[in-house]
Homo-oligomer: A and B are copies of this chain.
Amino acid sequence: MSKVTVVGSGNWGSVAAKLIASNTLRLKNFNDEVRMWVFEETLPGGEKLTEVINQTNENVKYLPGIKLGKNVIADPNLENAVKDADMLVFVSPHQFMEGICKLLVGKIKDGAEGISLIKGMEVKKEGPCMISTLISNQLGINCSVLMGANIANEIAMEKFSEATVGYSQHKEVAERWVQLFTTPYFIVTAVNDVEGVELCGTLKNIVAIAAGFVDGLEMGNNTKAAIMRLGLKEMMAFSKLLFPSVKDSTFFESCGVADLITTCMGGRNRKVAEAYARNGGKRSFEELEEELLKGQKLQGVLTAKEVYEVLSHHGWLEMFPLFSSVNLISQGRLPPSAIVEHSDNKSRCLYTRKFGNSSL
């Protein structure tokens, strides 16, 4: 019987614990108890967050109003939370993962399996720092990923949704993750393409910025759909240049086209980019981010900048007119309207020649 621990207890982490807890109760091959590591906080009333979660069965701070299941046990002690776990679900903010991994070295069970639900890797000049790779390398365990069109609050309310597990080696492992997460309203599919799935979760944020520009310029649904499609193709092309093993089919999964749609329709990247274009680029992203997101952080602008450096480093800029434009616009080096003017003949030709129909 596998024991499961969720490392992280924010909004998405709490929803993940809820999904998992409903399955460990139901399925014989999992231990009922789901341990959830909680970064301890003292609530305004003076109580400890973990104590309140364990008493009320709710994460009152990050997912109020939703019962997690009585078999979810909040644990403020990271080492204790992971020590017996056979399956580790990583779902903390990405900037904390390096620190968490360091604390976990040597503390986890032999043969444990990991899965990362964390979107938003860094993309360095040498290539992207996949969070699954970080976990895998630091802890010496196999690490899959789960991504998709997953707005945590909607899943918490049990609205129908889907997700994709990306795995690298063992199909049986992927099937166990699928079992652990699937519910009647949350359908999970596994694909043998961990890099493709994880890259989708990061690159989509660049496209969402582009979609936001189109919204701000009031260019209509046609243009927005065209920009989303071009973005999807650049996501595929970029992923395949970095990892030739990446599969086109991954982009038809929830982690690909569906997450892209959700992110370009709602989502904070789109929202701030829309405001940026409405202001004609005269107010900076930092300023709008502060005003509109109240402390939450934008991923897309940073990712666009990082990806631009990779493209520039390899001489690939002309093949990625959309990714390039998003960066140049958000840095104030091009006006927002440039998002649809990147299609000058030269780059378009190069682009089509390289990634047009023949590449598919």
Docked Cα-Cα span, A206 to B356, in Å, equals 28
Minimum-distance CB pairs A-B, first 6: A249-B360, A160-B340, A229-B258, A225-B261, A225-B258, A149-B225
Contact of A360 among B252, B265, B266, B352 (CB under 8 A): B252
Looking at chain A's contact residues, the main secondary structure is helix
Integer count of this chain's copies in the complex: 2
Binary contact track A182-200/B, C-beta < 8 Å → 1, others 0 = 0011010111100000000
Closest CB in chain B relative to A183 CB, distance in Å: 11
Q: For chain A, give the interface size range.
A: 35 or more
CB of A147 within 8 A of chain B?
A: no
Determine the chain B residues whose CB is within 8 A of the CB of A312 once the complex forms.
none
Contact of A226 among B191, B225, B258, B348 (CB under 8 A): B258
CB of A151 within 8 A of chain B?
A: yes
Binary contact track A219-246/B, C-beta < 8 Å → 1, others 0 = 1111111111110110010000000000
Contact of A259 among B225, B249, B348 (CB under 8 A): B225
Determine the chain B residues whose CB is within 8 A of the CB of A236 once the complex forms.
252
Contact of A154 among B192, B223, B249 (CB under 8 A): B223
Docked Cα-Cα span, A222 to B348, in Å, equals 32
- Per the 8 Å Cβ criterion, residues 136-182 of A in contact with B are 149-151, 154-155, 159-162
Determine the chain B residues whose CB is within 8 A of the CB of A225 once the complex forms.
149, 254, 257-259, 261-262, 265
CB of A247 within 8 A of chain B?
A: yes
Closest CB in chain B relative to A184 CB, distance in Å: 7
